Amino acid sequence: MLAMGLDFPQQCFSLVLRFGLRRRIEPDYREALNRLADLNTDLTDARTGKRGRVGELPVASLSPAAVDKLYEMLRSKGAVRQANYPIDVARRAWKIVACRYPSEFLIPNPSSPRDRIALNPFVGLERVQSDGTTLPATREQAYALSEALAGLGHPALGAVPIICLELLQRPENVLAGYLSWTDYRPPKRPLEIRIDHKKTKLSIWQPLEDEEGQLLYPKLEAYLKRVPRLGVPIVLFEPLRGPKNPDTGLRTPRLYSFEHARHLVQKARKAAGLPAHVTFAACRHGGMTELGDAGLTEAQVMALSAHQTPAAARIYVKRTQLQRIAAARKRRSFIERSA
């Protein structure tokens, strides 16, 4: 999708990273750009006239009309959000790289073919709007997904949904290795676990026991005892191929890639009979919503989630019937006291 035969997902993505993309969203951007680039269409290379995969076409082939066709193809493959996101990523990537290499993005001017202009065809695309709602997973669904992943032979990955549910950590941070065994009940803080919230740049020590020694997350800690300690990060796996360490008899542990984790979640979800909306992100939303169901104040919610503003926290605390009943019960009590 770049002139001179450069591949848009690989070359453009690396340039976007270099020019300021936050590392935490790297897997999302990579997956979105690849999804767009892997589309096979009847679009033709403006120079050679050949048809091909979108990722192999030069920028001159991508007019606004062509991007409209690509968007319709994305829409036919899934939900609105899954179609809109690659377009948003491509628009941003195009803008960033075109500013650095403007000559690579010049295309014939439709009004005057002898002239060449820089045009971002992803700008101005009329898209179907999504409500942006992520359905929260229930506590039962999060633990069912966890057990299903463990059943596939990935107990460490199975810790992710319940870490997202219980500790409210973002799944991309857990997969990136930011939750480590050295942060879990370390000698100097044996009753706590450290949680890094990379988006807000906050690090909190979350208590694991109350003043009376009562465990605050008993099911999570019971599950963590089943997770093998393969390295510093909690979520690691031993690959099936490669040389083994003669001392440990294990292959070098690795972090899960976003694509690998998503594939395993799909298999586990199917095995457990869970609905399609049950993802790692949905488990975090479920944990946040549970805080609302428990009747926590916004200050208490923010103390656990490390959101910096009430508005940001409210996005994740979905409104539920339990909250409506609790609110109506308080209102009824007020009316009766006032009568």
Give pLDDT, residue 220: 96
Helix ranges restricted to H, the chain: 13-18, 26-37, 64-77, 80-100, 139-151, 155-167, 171-175, 218-224, 258-272, 280-293, 298-305, 310-314, 321-338
Lowest mean pLDDT among 111-120, 190-199, 235-244: 111-120
Between 324 and 222, name the one with better pLDDT: 222
Has residue 158 been placed in a domain?
yes
111-126 pLDDT, tens digit per residue, is 666 666 667 778 777 7
Number of structural domains the chain divides into: 2
Q: Residue 301: count other Cβ atoms within 10 Å of its Cβ.
A: 20
Q: Which comes out higher in pLDDT, residue 6 or 142?
A: 142
Write down the pLDDT at residue 4. 33
DSSP string covering 90-151:
HHHHHHHHHHH-GGGGEEEETTEEEEEEE--TTTT---PPP--PPPPPPHHHHHHHHHHHHH
pLDDT at residue 3 in the model: 36
pLDDT at residue 259 greater than cutoff 90: no
Residue 146 and residue 265 in contact, taking contact as beta carbons nearer than 8 Å:
no
Residue after which a domain boundary falls, among 118, 152, 176: 118
pLDDT at 157 over 90: yes
339 domain-assigned: no
- pLDDT-derived band of residue 10, with 50, 70 and 90 as boundaries? very low
Question: Does 8 have pLDDT greater than 80?
Answer: no
pLDDT of residue 139: 95
* CATH code for position 282: 1.10.443.10
For the segment 325-330, the average pLDDT, to the nearest whole number, is: 88
272 located within any domain? yes
Asked if residues 204 and 304 have their Cβ atoms less than 8 Å apart, the reply is: no
Confidence of residue 99 (pLDDT cuts 50, 70, 90): confident
Task: Give the domain-ending residue among 118, 153, 183.
Answer: 118
Residue 332 lies in a domain: no
Domain that holds residue 218: 139-326
Q: What is the pLDDT of residue 15?
A: 53
Top pLDDT among 171 and 66 is at 171
Q: Are 36 and 72 part of one and the same domain?
A: yes
pLDDT computed for residue 135 by the predictor? 87
Q: How confident is the model at residue 109 (pLDDT cuts 50, 70, 90)?
A: low
* 44 has pLDDT over 90: no
Between 150 and 3, whose confidence is greater? 150
Asked if residue 144 and residue 107 are part of one domain, the reply reads no
Q: How confident is the model at residue 54 (pLDDT cuts 50, 70, 90)?
A: confident
Q: Is 277 helix (H, G, I), strand (E, B) or coil?
A: coil
Residue 188 banded pLDDT, cuts 50, 70, 90: very high
Q: Is the pLDDT of residue 20 over 60?
A: no
The predicted-structure confidence for 146-156, as pLDDT tens digits, reads as follows 999 999 999 99
Based on the domain organization, do 7 and 101 belong to the same domain?
Answer: yes
Q: Name the band, by pLDDT with cuts 50, 70 and 90, for residue 274.
A: very high
